[in-house]
Amino acid sequence: MTELTEAIRNYLPSDDREAADKVAFLQFLEAFGETSYDRENLVGHVTVTAWVSNARRDKVLMCFHNLYRVWALPGGHADGERDLKQTAIKEVREETGLTNLFINNKIVSLSVLTVEPVKAGDLLVTVEAHVKRGQFVPAHLHFDVTYLIEADEHETLVTAPEENSVLCWVRNAEMIALSGEEKMFPAYRRIMAKIEKGEI
């Protein structure tokens, strides 16, 4: 059993949707094994999201995503890496320039993200089938794990021009109104509820 499989099996879902996602996630890992972590798996692959919080847990760091033109959390594909906590830290460093990071070792949310349109201003952006780096990529699923990472909100932020153009700390209560990633709203709400209850 892999570390991720064990962590997901031990994870207590917050609601029926997350419970169903947990079952699907475990079935995916069992069916595809090591290829679950690679983009070459055209059915889907493992991704990671980082809820970057300040020490008081009342703010979250958001990035304006250049490609999809939405406010989102840092994160990305596992790209073969089995240690998703390290992947989360790497993505945060690359996308925000933050270096003084402390990760909560427990999963704070699980999601199976289907391909669906994302509203971005007056545009309707979809990440269905597309061409990336000259290659056709069919529609697929993202099996996403979210970790909470604590950072110093006073540390200098540095954008990653190939990924994002603006970074800002937002109060938890305001982040959903700012975000354009509707498919992530259930996960965001679960995490905020856990913060309010003092669970993370």
Residues 108/184, Cβ–Cβ less than 8 Å: no
Asked whether the whole model's pTM tops 0.95, one would answer no
- How many Å apart are CA 71 and CA 60, to the nearest integer? 12
10-residue averages of pLDDT along the chain (200 residues): 93 96 96 95 93 98 90 95 96 97 95 64 46 72 95 98 96 93 90 96
Residues 182/119, Cβ–Cβ less than 8 Å: yes
Look up the CATH number of the domain holding residue 72: 3.90.79.10
Q: What is the pLDDT of residue 188?
A: 95
Q: What is the pLDDT of residue 115?
A: 58
Q: What is the pLDDT of residue 128?
A: 64
Q: What is the pLDDT of residue 61?
A: 98
Residues 193/97, Cβ–Cβ less than 8 Å: no
Domain limits for position 62: 3-196
Q: What is the pLDDT of residue 120?
A: 45
Domains contained in the chain, number: 1
Residues 108/188, Cβ–Cβ less than 8 Å: no
CA atoms within 13 A on the CB side of 151: 29
Q: What is the pLDDT of residue 139?
A: 79
Q: What is the pLDDT of residue 13?
A: 97
